[in-house]
Amino acid sequence: MTERTRGVQLLTIPTVTVTVLDPDCLFALDMKGIAHRTNRVERKARDWRGLRSRLFDLDFKSKNAVAAWLADCGYIPRLRPYDPNQLKRWPKGALTTPEDKSQLALSNPENWAQIALANPENANEDEWRPEFVSGPIINRFEHFRDVLKWLMSQSREEYRDLVVSAREYFDEKRDGPIDQRFNRALAAPHRFDPRILLASLIGAGSAPNVSAMLHWDVNGKASVTVHAEDPLELLGVTVRIDKEFSQRQWVICGGCGKGFERQKSSDQFCSRKCKDLAITRSRRARIKVLEQADADWRELSPEKRRELNRWEWISKRASRKNKKITAVWARIELGKIKSKGGK
Q: Which of 199, 233, 262 is the last residue of a domain?
A: 262
Other Cβ atoms within 10 Å of 176 Cβ, number: 11
pLDDT at 78 over 60: yes
Average pLDDT over residues 236-263: 78
Contact 39, 25 (CB under 8 A): yes
Helix ranges, 58-134 (H): 63-72, 98-107, 112-118
Q: 35-39, 209-213, 226-230 — which one is most confidently predicted on average? A: 35-39
pLDDT at 35 over 80: yes
In angstroms, how far is CA 323 from the centroid of its own chain?
34
Q: Give a yes or no: residue 3 inside a domain.
A: no
Q: Give a yes or no: residue 37 inside a domain.
A: no
Q: Give a yes or no: residue 303 inside a domain.
A: yes
- Between CA 69 and CA 34 the distance in angstroms is 16
Domain count of the fold of the chain: 3
pLDDT tens-digit series, residues 42-54: 777 788 888 999 9
Q: Please check whether residues 177 and 256 belong to one and the same domain.
A: yes
Q: Please check whether residues 163 and 203 belong to one and the same domain.
A: yes
- Of the candidates 294, 269, 270, the one whose C-alpha atom is nearest the C-alpha of residue 282 is 269
- Between CA 92 and CA 116 the distance in angstroms is 16
Contact 239, 196 (CB under 8 A): no
| Domain carrying residue 171 | 17-26+42-60+138-262
Q: Please check whether residues 150 and 247 belong to one and the same domain.
A: yes
Average pLDDT over residues 8-14: 58
Angle CA 231–5–18, to nearest 5: 40
Q: Please check whether residues 257 and 165 belong to one and the same domain.
A: yes
Contact 31, 236 (CB under 8 A): no
Q: Please check whether residues 70 and 167 belong to one and the same domain.
A: no
Q: Please check whether residues 53 and 77 belong to one and the same domain.
A: no
Q: Please check whether residues 147 and 252 belong to one and the same domain.
A: yes
Q: Which of 230, 262, 294 is the last residue of a domain?
A: 262
Angle CA 140–229–68, to nearest 5: 50
Q: Please check whether residues 257 and 288 belong to one and the same domain.
A: no
Task: Look at residue 341 in the predicted model and tell me its pLDDT.
Answer: 64
Q: Please check whether residues 183 and 234 belong to one and the same domain.
A: yes
127-131, 143-147, 241-245: least confident range:
241-245
Q: Please check whether residues 82 and 186 belong to one and the same domain.
A: no
Q: Give a yes or no: residue 177 inside a domain.
A: yes
Q: Give a yes or no: residue 313 inside a domain.
A: yes
User: Residue 93: left (phi > 0), alpha (psi -120 to 50), or beta?
Assistant: left
- Between CA 210 and CA 20 the distance in angstroms is 11
Task: Look at residue 101 in the predicted model and tell me its pLDDT.
Answer: 46
β-sheet with 211-216: strand ranges across:
17-21, 222-227, 211-216
pLDDT at 110 over 80: no
Task: Look at residue 223 in the predicted model and tell me its pLDDT.
Answer: 80
Q: Please check whether residues 154 and 216 belong to one and the same domain.
A: yes
Q: Give a yes or no: residue 11 inside a domain.
A: no
pLDDT tens-digit series, residues 116-138: 444 444 444 578 888 889 899 99
Task: Look at residue 12 in the predicted model and tell me its pLDDT.
Answer: 61
pLDDT tens-digit series, residues 276-317: 888 888 888 888 888 888 888 888 888 887 888 888 888 888
pLDDT tens-digit series, residues 217-230: 788 888 888 877 88
Q: Please check whether residues 98 and 151 belong to one and the same domain.
A: no
pLDDT at 99 over 70: no
Q: Give a yes or no: residue 307 inside a domain.
A: yes
Contact 274, 184 (CB under 8 A): no
Average pLDDT, whole number, for the chain?
A: 76
Annotate 188-200 with three-state secondary structure.
Answer: CCCCCCHHHHHHH
Q: Which of 262, 282, 316 is the last residue of a domain?
A: 262
Rounded to 10 degrees, what is the CA torsion of 334, 338, 341, 342? 50
Q: Give a yes or no: residue 9 inside a domain.
A: no
pLDDT at 190 over 60: yes
